[in-house]
Chain A
Amino acid sequence: MSELTTKTIADLREGLAAGSFSAREVATAYNSAVEAGRPLNAYTVETPEIALAAADAADQARASSDRIGALAGIPLGIKDLFATEGVETTAGSTILKGFKPQYESTVSGKLKAAGAGMLGKLNMDEFAMGSSNETSAFGPVISPWRRNDGGNVALTSGGSSGGSATAVSAGLAAGVTGTDTGGSIRQPAAFTGICGIKPTYGRCSRWGVVAFASSLDQAGPMAKTVRDCAIMLEVMSGFDKKDSTSLDVPVPQWEAGLSSNLKGKRVGIPREYRIDGVPAEIDALWDKGVEWLRDAGAEPVEISLPHTAHALPTYYIIAPAEASSDLARYDGVRYGLREEGVKTLDDMYAATRAAGFGAEVKRRIMIGTYVLSAGFYDAYFTKAQKVRTLIKRDFTDAFEKCDFILTPTAPSAAFGLAEKMSDPLAMYLNDVFAVPASLAGLPAMSVPGGLDAQGLPLGLHLIGRELDEQGVLNAALAIEERAGFTHKAEKWW
């Protein structure tokens, strides 16, 4: 592993500015790492030439002008949910195999405009539906982490941004984009010992991001450190008139605003997040997190989020309902897979969608279709939207008493591939701590806290007020500084 691929984005930026190395050297190092990392199955498409071209442009810009993009010469991986012009974009699905968008998503476009290079497209659960990356049509991503039992059981890097998580933790990208509908940035970040933030719903444009569940989908960065996340998020965020749900508010200078001094802040500890069956190690880490924040000056307060227990079933009505409609456009007519050899249009639709969608996507489309269908709409969908109002209200009430909330990110460390695939409900439970903030559209972040007894990373989860990404980043920074999480996965691939 080259020295360069262990550096943070902030360090690379500094080294590039100082002339310690060139962007081309950085891109070359990452291109080799990507190639060497193929056994991890993190990338669905590799684009070394695009990374090099961006690096050369960054080197030239540095040599000839003082207007340098915020991410000039930084090689990134882009989750395959983001449309990238001319580069295959599949959302991890057979139904989009071969699809080359004629457009660039707003978020990936902003990163490129800031000088970042694209190393390739990152593997993910099909249409972002999954928590282990095992629903991908490209096969599961493998975590660089292994249990400390001397065995070599392949572990999941979480999902749906599993390729993203593996890429950062294995040094296959300096930073990556992820998307989070119900925990898909935070859970994989926790599983792989990296940072990831889902900003307030509407901060990052959804234009050009393949939709899973429109009212929940939100893009965000995943990177080695809190600072790197702040750097990337600043570039990724911003009003986009092409997205009706995009927030027309200024983007704060989050990196400049970073401060781990939490004096005067109150950290809320929701009592409903103590859940039966969660390993004691996780509760213990949570307690440690409270102490770290207290040490940084914050005052812990107990809060109540009474509808927490209903968040997961609420999510599993709303997300599939929206998905059943958001995924109706994959019909074999305008792009992607088409099954030939059938006579009627309806048969073509049905055959194409049967062949193009995997089991989990089909399951969710079926659930979503059912809960919206005549006679069930009010009992399921309207009911869920009402409970969603209550969940949002819980947070509003809680933020009367505190400035941010600390919880564990996930109820377990990474698990082995195939361990949970046969039980959808057990898989859904992965997001039990992540989903409430998604339903409320709040900024939330996972930061590494430590290792469990198996030697696997565990994350701590911070939830902030609407638009208070700064508060979330600062609290995460305080934890990062105190946790001293420097563990790296041993390279075995």
Chain B
Amino acid sequence: MSVNTEQVRHIAKLARIAMSDAQIEALVPELNNILGWIEQLSQVDTEGVEPLTAVIEQKLRLRDDVIDDGNVRDKVLANAPNAQHGFFAVPKVIE
């Protein structure tokens, strides 16, 4: 499998990374080089093999339903590029 300019543009859009046409053009062969290399996995026989779900076998632990966090608005907003009236502010979204 390989990607073309259109696909790279689409991936960049999905990933929300602005790219010029020139950057996209440059990425096409780079990505294809890597994709061509990882392609070799298709030759591995994985018939009947389950995908790995946990690196180390262990059981999921669950938390008790108690409120022991939150109420830290100052910490939550401390690093915000734009905070107003206790909110994060972002460019207006039209719905």
Contact = CB atoms under 8 A, between A and B. Distances in A.
A/B touching: CB–CB < 8 A = yes
Interface of A: 98-100, 102-103, 200-202, 215-216, 241, 244-245, 247-248, 307, 310, 313-314, 316-317, 324, 331-338, 342-351, 353-354, 357, 362-363, 365-367, 369-370, 373, 376, 379-380, 382-390, 392, 424-425, 440-441, 466
Q: Which of B31, B33, B41, B92 has the most CB of A within 10 A?
A: B41
B49 interface: yes
Given A331-B16, A345-B91, A440 B11 contact: no
Contacts of A425: 33-34, 37
Contact of B15 (A100, A202, A366): A366
Given A102-B78, A350-B17, 9 more contacts: A200-B56, A313-B37, A316-B38, A334-B88, A336-B79, A337-B81, A370-B35, A389-B49, A441-B55
A351 B18 contact: yes
11 contacts: A98-B79, A102-B79, A335-B81, A345-B93, A346-B16, A348-B90, A362-B17, A363-B27, A365-B17, A367-B34, A425-B37
Interface string B1-37: 1010001100111111111000000010011011101
Given A332-B81, A387-B44, A313 B16 contact: no
A389 B58 contact: no
B65 interface: no
A363 B54 CA distance: 27
Nearest to A351: B18
Contacts of A310: 40-41, 44
Interface of B: 1, 3, 7-8, 11-19, 27, 30-31, 33-35, 37-42, 44, 46, 49-56, 58, 60-61, 63, 72, 75-76, 78-82, 88, 90-93
A389 B50 contact: yes
Nearest to A314: B41
A466 B80 CA distance: 41
Contacts of A466: 56
Contact of B41 (A202, A317, A373): A317
Contacts, number: 162
A392 B49 CA distance: 12
Given A100-B78, A333-B90, A335-B80, A366 B40 contact: no
B90 A345 contact: yes
Contacts of B60: 244
Contact of B33 (A334, A390, A424): A424
A343 B11 CA distance: 22
Given A310-B40, A338-B81, A388-B51, A366 B17 contact: yes
Contact of B3 (A99, A370, A382, A390): A370
A348 B82 CA distance: 13
A386 B51 contact: yes
A167 to B, nearest CB: 27
Given A316-B34, A346-B16, A386-B51, A366 B27 contact: yes
Q: Which of B7, B11, B15, B75 has the most CB of A within 10 A?
A: B15
Q: Which of B1, B76, B90 has the most CB of A within 10 A?
A: B90
B30 A383 contact: no
Nearest to A216: B55
Given A332-B81, A357-B17, A366-B11, A313 B75 contact: no
A245 B13 CA distance: 32
A369 B14 contact: yes
A251 to B, nearest CB: 15
Contacts of B54: 245
Contacts of A386: 44, 46, 49-52
